[in-house]
Amino acid sequence: MSGLAAFDLTGKVAIVTGGNRGIGRAIALGLAQAGAAVAILARNAERNAEVEAELERIGQPTHADILDVTDRAAIAQAVGRVERALGPVDILVNNAGNTDISGGVLNQSDEGWDNALATHLTATMLLSKSAAQSMQARGRGKIINLASMYSIFGAAALPSYAAAKGGIVQLTKSMAIELAPHGIQVNAIAPGWIATEMTEVAREDPDWRDFNAMLMARTPAGRWGEAEECGGAAVFLASAAADFVTGITLPVDGGYSVF
């Protein structure tokens, strides 16, 4: 397959966790625009319905379901419901995430630590396990995990988040090696500083003005990224154009990680 056809996702079934806002929503819409049937699994029913309506307007089959990705027992059931609604899953995007700004390990709560690892790392493993069992039977599949600049750099104020995101990169590489013989590619996207609700405080709060200025000075592009700018990277990694790409972490960061 060559040319633009290699990016066509027509007939594919995708799951995006946390897909009802921010980067997850942008990825869900991008995958649907490329032709995929998209399921979003997230916690807020009202927001799920809003994005489901947006997906329907694109014209692809869609499905939205409530899932808290830290609820281990619910994961395989949710994937099963997607498959009954849309068909076997071809693409999994492990996007759900939150931040735990504890201020550092000296101030780190057990709850914050456990939740960060459960939300990012354990959920990514369990969702991937569930989806890969299905993909393996068909000898193909794509798993895309959301990493971070804090997968690479340390974060004194949010060590749980940085530890979890660092783990995502190693989990991505490990699953890529294991699953390559089954025709399943596993990659990560590492967004730089993207304007979403998660990062609103850093953009809007006067107390964070110096931090915001430091970020922009350190980002060669000199601006915050838009959630939609992660959509194209996801379409590429989900497509046949990336069939020989596995185990990588692709920065979408305006050059932050190379400066």
Q: What is the binding site for ligand NAI (CB under 6 A)?
A: 17-18, 20-24, 42-43, 67-70, 95-98, 119, 146, 148, 191, 193-194, 196-199
Closest distance between ligand NAI and the C-beta of residue 138, in Å? 26
Closest distance between ligand NAI and the C-beta of residue 52, in Å? 13
- Partners of 142 in beta bridges: 91, 185
Residue 239: Cβ within 10 Å count? 24
Closest distance between ligand NAI and the C-beta of residue 185, in Å? 19
Give Cβ neighbours of residue 53 (< 8 Å, ≥ 6 apart).
none
Closest distance between ligand NAI and the C-beta of residue 25, in Å? 8
Asked if 89 contacts 131 with a C-beta cutoff of 8 angstroms, the reply is yes
DSSP assignment of 136-173, as one string? HHHT-EEEEEE--GGGTS--TT-HHHHHHHHHHHHHHH
43/218 with CB nearer ligand NAI: 43
Q: Element (H or E) spanning 14, and its range?
A: strand 13-17
Nearest to 71 by CA among 63, 59, 79: 79
Catalytic residue among 55, 147, 160, 161: 161
202/240 with CB nearer ligand NAI: 202
Give Cβ neighbours of residue 133 (< 8 Å, ≥ 6 apart).
none
8/71 with CB nearer ligand NAI: 71
18/141 with CB nearer ligand NAI: 18
Question: Catalytic: 150?
Answer: no
95/246 with CB nearer ligand NAI: 95
d(CA 192, CA 26): 15
The SS3 assignment for 229 reads helix
Closest distance between ligand NAI and the C-beta of residue 247, in Å? 19
Asked if 164 contacts 172 with a C-beta cutoff of 8 angstroms, the reply is no
Point out the residues that are catalytic.
Answer: 161
